[in-house]
């Protein structure tokens, strides 16, 4: 498979891992948009949120709760943080493996893009 994030899940590409279990992997972004920028991805390959189904409901919830926990662990929960999930090209998705950006540690601006 040529999916960049699947290669990270398989250990073929090293990552700065902050969390891993049997369903989810979280790692620091190599081009951070803030003092804290962590990618939270499912180990199951889903190209985008459009590919998720009812059977993925618990996995999607786990990703969000993991982002919440990581925000607390990184010390940014109290001040606030942003979660971003881009879907397809007009949504800004660059890697076609579902992922959630956890960004914080600075004041976020609105609108984002």
Active-site residue 99, yes or no? yes
Of the residues 37, 45, 97, 99, only one is catalytic, namely 99
* Cis peptide preceding 51, ω within 30 of 0: no
Nearest residue to 43 (alpha-carbon basis) of 91, 11, 1, 6: 6
Residue 9: how many other CB atoms lie within 10 Å = 21
- Residues tagged active-site: 99
């Amino acid at each position: 498979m040529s999916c960049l994030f699947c290669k990270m899940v398989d250990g073929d590409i090293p990552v700065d891992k902050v969390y891993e279990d049997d369903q989810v992997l979280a790692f620091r972004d190599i081009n951070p948009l803030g003092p804290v920028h962590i990618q939270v991805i499912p180990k199951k390959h889903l190209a985008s949120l459009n590919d998720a189904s009812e059977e993925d409901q618990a996995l999607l919830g786990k990703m969000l709760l993991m982002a919440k926990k990581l925000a607390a662990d990184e010390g940014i929960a109290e001040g606030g943080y942003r979660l971003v999930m881009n879907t397809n090209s007009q949504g800004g998705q660059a890697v076609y493996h579902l992922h959630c950006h956890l960004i914080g540690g600075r004041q976020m601006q609105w609108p984002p893009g």
